[in-house]
Amino acid sequence: DAGVIQSPRHEVTEMGQEVTLRCKPISGHNSLFWYRQTMMRGLELLIYFNNNVPIDDSGMPEDRFSAKMPNASFSTLKIQPSEPRDSAVYFCASSSLGAGGHNEQFFGPGTRLTVL
């Protein structure tokens, strides 16, 4: 199994530009999570989807952030316009929500975003 795949691994952009982060969850997993990690704020949950439907987006910092999951194998997190304070590592994670099992989250390698 390939695990959770994120692209790009590194992104450097200028303030005001649009940034799109991509995630492919583990095949068969029905829950997907987007996190942001910074030194100051630690690991923050931004949004999560269950069966492609956004369940809780209360962690999305502001309207500049949006996330979509058009199908079970793909999700995007978009920042438009980007600002320097958005610089962070963005993780995507997936899990299999259902009876039995641990439902642990499997994390992707992360996208390190730098906004200049």
Applying CB under 8 A, which residues contact another protein?
A: 31, 33, 42-43, 45, 48, 50, 55-56, 89, 91, 93, 97-98, 102-107, 109-110, 112
Supply the minimum distance, in Å, between the C-beta of residue 48 and another protein.
Answer: 6
Q: Which is nearer to another protein, 72 or 89 (CB)?
A: 89
Supply the minimum distance, in Å, between the C-beta of residue 5 and another protein.
Answer: 13
Supply the minimum distance, in Å, between the C-beta of residue 85 and another protein.
Answer: 20
Supply the minimum distance, in Å, between the C-beta of residue 37 and another protein.
Answer: 9
Q: Which is nearer to another protein, 75 or 105 (CB)?
A: 105
Q: Which is nearer to another protein, 4 or 79 (CB)?
A: 4
The three-state DSSP-derived secondary structure of the chain is: CCCCEEECCEEEECCCCCEEEEEECCCCCCEEEEEEEECCCEEEEEEEEECCEEEECCCCCCCCEEEEEEECCEEEEEECCCCHHHCEEEEEEEECCCCCCCCCCEECCCEEEEEC
Q: Which is nearer to another protein, 33 or 65 (CB)?
A: 33
Cα atoms in the Cβ-side hemisphere of radius 13 Å centred on 56: 10
